[in-house]
Amino acid sequence: MLKETRPPELVVSQWLNTSKPLSLSGLAGRPVLIHAFQMLCPGCVAHAIPQTQKAHRAFGGTDLQVIGLHTVFEHHDAMTPVALKAFVLEYGLTFPIGIDEAGVNTPLPVTMQLHGMRGTPTTILIGRDGNLIAHQFGQIDDMALGAMIATALAADGDAVGIRKTAGDNKSCAGDRCKSP
C-alpha cells in the first residue's frame, strides 16, 4: 500500500460509455478504480477487462467509479478510436472508457507517463481521500481486488455492498441471528 500519494489527473482525448468527461478532481470523495488496458494485450483481454466489467457490475450499487483507460503504447495504427468503439461494443463493456492522450515525440501516452505505468494491464485504486491505495502492473487476483475495493468503500465507515431497506430486520451478532 502506498500512503499520502495523490495521483495525477487523467489526460484523455475522448470518452466512451459516458455522457460527460470524467476527472479525478470531479470524483473527489469517491473511490476510483482505473484499469489501463490495450485491446491487443492478451492479459487485458483474457483477465483484466472481464475483471473490470465484473467489478463495475458487482459494485454498481456503491459509489465506486470504475474507469477504463485505453492507453496505447504499441501498434498505434491498429488501435484507433474507431477500432476501440467496435471492441467495446463486441465485448459488451459498460464502464466509462477514456482514450489516453497520445504522447508528443514518444510512443507512450500522456496519462501512462504521468502515472508511471510500466505497461498493461495496470490497475490503480484511489481512495475517498484522493490518495493512491494501489498501483499494480499485471494481473490481480479477483478476490484480492475485491478486498481492496471493499476496504476503499468502507473507508467512511459504511458497510460495503450491503444495502438495508426499510423493514429489513435480518441481523446477526455473535452466534445469534434475527429474522422477521
CA separation for the pair 69, 67 (Å, rounded): 6
pLDDT means per 10 residues in the chain (180 residues)? 74 96 95 96 95 96 96 85 96 97 92 94 96 95 96 71 37 41
What is the Cα 150 distance to its own chain's centre?
A: 13
Note if the pTM is more than 0.85: no
| CATH fold of 12-178 | Glutaredoxin (3.40.30)
Amino acid symbol at 57:
R
- Contact indicator for 73, 87 with CB cutoff of 8 Å: no
* DSSP code, position 130: S
By CB atoms closer than 10 A (0-12, 13-18, 19+), residue 157 is: exposed
Strands 65-70, 132-137: pairing is unpaired
| pLDDT score recorded for residue 129 | 92
16 grid coordinates? 466512451
